[in-house]
Structure 1
Amino acid sequence: MTRLILVRHAKSSWDDPELEDFDRPLGKRGRRDAPAMGAWLRAGGHEPEAALVSSAARAVQTFARLFQGATPPPARFLDALYLADTAVMLGALRGARGERVLMVGHNPGIGAFATRLLGLPPDDPDYERFPTCATAVIDFASGWDAVDWHSGRLVDFMTPKRLAR
């Protein structure tokens, strides 16, 4: 069995209008939410062995803050995951190593990817919109090379707002 931990990057900053989208850092809320989500992952036993991370600044910073105070797994930072569509994400996942893999990406692609992977997506408006720093934990019966659409089973789902409750 393989497990995917799918995370949309945390809330980014729009303070500098001159900054290219790729280079936007995390905002105050994102810097707060990512460590909390990382703690939730560890508390739930959802610790990855490897990571696939968009090379955009906000995704890289989200990855780092998810593991604040913990040892991060080996990561591949991929330009291809920046604003990737679902086919690109699936291709990257099929090349993953390890049984538990974290992927950090962007919407709208990551929300669509999370939905397409499940046989039966949950009746949850937060899952459909996949807000910043939302995290889905999805299990597959196959290895990464055989993962396909509708083959996953949702194990857990969390958003920063739910964590704060």
Structure 2
Amino acid sequence: MDRLILFRHGKAEPDSFSGDDFDRRLQPRGQSEAAEMGERLAAQGVAVDLVLVSAAERTRETWDALAAAFPQAEVRFEDDLYLAESAAIRRIAEAAGADRKAVMVVGHNPGLHELTLRLMLEGGADPALFSKAQRNFPTAAVALFAIGPDGRPQAEDLLLPERWA
């Protein structure tokens, strides 16, 4: 894997019809921000060949909203990404992405935020970028990392929805 993209799901409703967190759907703002972030990534020339999506409803809807930006990507829905810790997210991405160029994970906080910070520290990220990531990783936030041949991550960018920019 040459690139890892961590994408937090869009803004979700506070409760679901079933009362189960797993079934929470996106709010209209969550749908529009996810689509906007997909467009921003595509406009920057970001290509993705594998997308790993938590099986939760809000992450599936996030992928649906941004999928048009990555029509060639293979998509896998992963139960183990639901509310996964940072180490688990990394293991899943590395295993699935062993023979891929670019992998996107659509998942949840706190795991994605923790993994973003861990990868930035590991790769010696610019202090200003690390500080920005440390302050907030809101819904529809995206962290991009280049992965070197030695597996070392290099923070490329942190994209936040316009309301946080």
Cα RMSD between the aligned structures?
2.1
Pick closer, same or farther for the CA change 1:94–1:31 going to 2, 3 Å: same
Q: Secondary structure at the match of 2:68?
A: coil
Distance 1:16 1:141 in 2: 41
**Superposed CA offset, 1:16-73 (max 9, x none):** 4753100101001101101100000100011201111111000111011112365151
Pick closer, same or farther for the CA change 1:19–1:68 going to 2, 3 Å: farther
Residue in structure 2 matched with residue 106 of structure 1 by the alignment:
108
More deviation, 2-11/14-23: 14-23
What is the TM-score with the length of structure 2 in the denominator? 0.86
1:132 counterpart (108, 131, 139): 139
Residue in structure 1 matched with residue 159 of structure 2 by the alignment:
158
**Superposed CA offset, 1:50-104 (max 9, x none):** 1111110001110111123651511111111111001111110121231011101
CA contact (8 A) 1:55 1:82 kept: yes
Residue in structure 1 matched with residue 8 of structure 2 by the alignment:
8
Once the two structures are aligned, what percentage of the paired residues are identical?
Answer: 36
Give the structure with the larger helix fraction. 2
Which segments of 5 or more consecutive residues in structure 2 lack a partner in the other structure? Answer: none
Distance 1:134 1:3 in 2: 17
Alignment of 1:51-130 (within 5 A): 51-68=51-68, 71=71, 73-97=73-97, 98-118=100-120, 119-121=123-125, 122-124=127-129, 125-128=131-134, 129-130=136-137
CA contact (8 A) 1:8 1:134 kept: yes
Q: Secondary structure at the match of 1:95?
A: helix
1:43 and 2:43 correspond: yes
Q: Secondary structure at the match of 2:71?
A: coil
